[in-house]
């Protein structure tokens, strides 16, 4: 007997570049600065809080929307940082990581034939979610120069059509390390004002903005917040990416539709971890201090790269550093990243992987969310090129 033929819903999807580069790094003993996760642990107090929650019996299903104490902590954090107070019962949902939050946001509002504007380079989970919803992605490419990556808002406005349902924005931005300014958000507001266009704001690196700059969350801007799903991630904030816990903040009418999908694709999220994170959030210092923590790592990495043949692009946020390599080679980005991993023993990610067109810019992305000794070992190897 033969297995029946299955027509794929995601014909363009194969093994991700992150999986391929991590496999190359493991095979060749390379320092893995490709995939975006820390190689250091979280605060032991967070683990203790989860252990306490488990031993206290918090091991059964929580509410579908999330543990009330965690939702309240999220509401209080958003209010303290951005001046917006969401309704704890109707406007906050805890999710199984940011990727699930993004997928569910798209599935709940995008119908077959709806257009979704995606600003590229873009994180790789956006396009598959749009495809599964039956939507049509409309790519607008960022412009890149000496000042780094910027969003061409005139081109975003030109991409809007009567079928535009959603615009996805991401700040701080993966993979480029750029951030949106208040002027950027005013430009976005001008585009959506008077329309029924919704917004999905991927803000998982919200606590990693450097050089004294503000994170311009859409939560800060009532005109944008009233039509936005705002997504964040405890995994990124607390160095526990494997826990897969995030959240969405959205106005009640949007959240009602979000929860209709959420309850049937995951229903709810790991109970003791929710209780542990809620307890840990009682002290804001871990995320208040995060910009300085990662800025020091960014500066260490940038200072080390300054003496190499790479050309540094600005890194205003996230834990990623993009570099041009045209002073070293003219080969394609994927080939250059493979050469780095196999010959130089440092893994990076080709930025072309973040474009639907596979656009080549001669740029790769490094992750500096690593121990100092990991970064120094990588820098020593990169300096030999």
| Tokens encoding 185 | 């958000």
- The answer to whether residue 1 scores a pLDDT higher than 80 is no
Mean pLDDT of 330-338: 96
Report how far residue 200's alpha carbon sits from residue 249's, in angstroms, rounded to the nearest whole number.
Answer: 10
End-to-end CA distance of the chain: 55
Beta bridge partners of 230: 201, 249
**Predicted local distance difference test score (pLDDT) of residue 13:** 86
The residue among 50, 18, 12 whose CA lies nearest residue 32 is: 18
**Predicted local distance difference test score (pLDDT) of residue 298:** 98
Mean pLDDT of 2-20: 88
Report how far residue 167's alpha carbon sits from residue 181's, in angstroms, rounded to the nearest whole number.
Answer: 17
Q: What is the helix (H) or strand (E) element at residue 119, kind and residue range?
A: strand 115-120
- The answer to whether residue 141 scores a pLDDT higher than 90 is yes
**For 169-226, how does the pLDDT look when each residue is reduced to its tens digit (9 = 90+)?**
999 999 999 999 999 999 999 999 999 999 999 999 999 999 999 999 999 999 999 9
What are the DSSP calls for 184-195, one per residue?
A: HHHHHHHHHTTS
**For 263-294, how does the pLDDT look when each residue is reduced to its tens digit (9 = 90+)?**
999 999 999 999 999 999 999 999 999 999 99
- The answer to whether residue 367 scores a pLDDT higher than 90 is yes
Mean pLDDT of 315-324: 98
Percent of residues, the chain, with pLDDT higher than 90: 94
Distances (CA, A) of 332 to 67, 195, 292, 323, 339: 47, 41, 35, 14, 11
**For 233-266, how does the pLDDT look when each residue is reduced to its tens digit (9 = 90+)?**
999 999 999 999 999 999 999 999 999 999 999 9
Q: How many of the other CB atoms lie within 10 Å of CB of 279?
A: 19
Taking the CA atoms of residue 290, residue 291, residue 293 and residue 294 in that order, the dihedral angle to the nearest 10 degrees is 110
**Predicted local distance difference test score (pLDDT) of residue 147:** 84
Mean pLDDT of 97-126: 97
Q: How many of the other CB atoms lie within 10 Å of CB of 295?
A: 17
Mean pLDDT of 155-165: 98
Mean pLDDT of 78-98: 98
Domains in the chain, start-ordered, CATH in brackets? 17-42+288-382 (3.90.1150.10), 45-286 (3.40.640.10)
pLDDT band, residue 14 (cuts 50/70/90): confident
Report how far residue 362's alpha carbon sits from residue 326's, in angstroms, rounded to the nearest whole number.
Answer: 6
**Predicted local distance difference test score (pLDDT) of residue 210:** 98
| Tokens encoding 305 | 């790269």
What are the DSSP calls for 285-326, one per residue?
A: HHHHSHHHHHHHHHHHHHHHHTTSS-EEPP--BTTEEEEE-T
| Tokens encoding 176 | 């480029």
| Tokens encoding 287 | 């995320």
- The answer to whether residue 146 scores a pLDDT higher than 90 is no
Which one has a higher pLDDT value, 353 or 2? 353
Q: Is 245:46 a contact under the CB 8 Å cutoff?
A: no
Report how far residue 324's alpha carbon sits from residue 175's, in angstroms, rounded to the nearest whole number.
Answer: 13
**Predicted local distance difference test score (pLDDT) of residue 17:** 82
**For 113-136, how does the pLDDT look when each residue is reduced to its tens digit (9 = 90+)?**
999 999 999 999 999 999 999 999
CA 61 to chain CA centroid, Å, is 27
Report how far residue 342's alpha carbon sits from residue 25's, in angstroms, rounded to the nearest whole number.
Answer: 7
Provide the phi-psi class of 248: left if phi over 0, else alpha when psi is between -120 and 50, else beta: beta
């Amino acid at each position: 007997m033969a297995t029946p033929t299955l027509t794929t819903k995601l014909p363009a999807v194969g093994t991700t570049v992150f999986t391929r580069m991590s496999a190359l790094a493991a095979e060749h003993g390379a320092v893995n600065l490709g995939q975006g996760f820390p190689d250091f642990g979280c605060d032991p107090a967070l683990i203790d809080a989860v252990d306490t929650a488990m031993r206290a019996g918090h091991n059964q299903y929580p509410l579908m929307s999330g543990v009330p104490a965690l939702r309240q902590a999220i509401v209080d954090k958003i209010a303290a940082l951005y001046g917006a107070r969401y309704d704890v019962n109707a406007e906050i949902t805890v999710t199984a990581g940011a990727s699930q939050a993004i997928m569910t946001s798209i599935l709940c509002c995008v119908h077959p034939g709806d257009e979704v504007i995606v600003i590229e380079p873009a994180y790789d989970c956006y396009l598959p979610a749009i495809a599964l919803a039956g939507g049509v992605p409309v790519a607008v490419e960022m412009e890149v120069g000496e000042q780094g990556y910027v969003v061409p808002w005139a081109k975003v406005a030109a991409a809007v059509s009567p079928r535009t349902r959603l615009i996805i924005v991401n700040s701080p931005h993966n993979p480029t390390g750029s951030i949106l300014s208040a002027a950027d958000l005013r430009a976005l507001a001008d585009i959506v004002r008077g329309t029924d266009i919704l917004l999905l704001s991927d803000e998982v690196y919200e606590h990693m903005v450097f050089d004294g700059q503000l994170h311009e969350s859409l939560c800060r801007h009532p005109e944008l917040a009233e039509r936005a799903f705002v997504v964040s991630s405890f995994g990124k904030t607390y160095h526990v990416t494997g826990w897969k816990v995030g959240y969405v903040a959205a106005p009640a009418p949007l959240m009602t539709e979000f929860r209709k999908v959420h309850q049937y694709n995951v229903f709810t999220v790991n109970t003791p971890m929710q209780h542990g994170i809620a307890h840990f959030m009682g002290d804001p210092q871990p995320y208040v201090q995060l910009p300085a923590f990662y800025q020091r790592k960014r500066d260490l990495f940038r200072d080390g790269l300054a003496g190499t043949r790479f050309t540094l692009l600005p890194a205003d946020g996230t834990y990623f550093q993009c570099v041009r390599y045209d002073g070293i080679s003219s080969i394609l980005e994927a080939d250059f990243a493979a050469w780095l991993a196999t010959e130089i023993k440092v893994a990076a990610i080709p930025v072309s992987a973040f474009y639907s067109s596979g656009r080549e810019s001669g740029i790769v992305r490094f992750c500096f969310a690593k121990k100092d000794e990991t970064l120094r070992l990588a820098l020593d190897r990169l300096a030999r090129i």
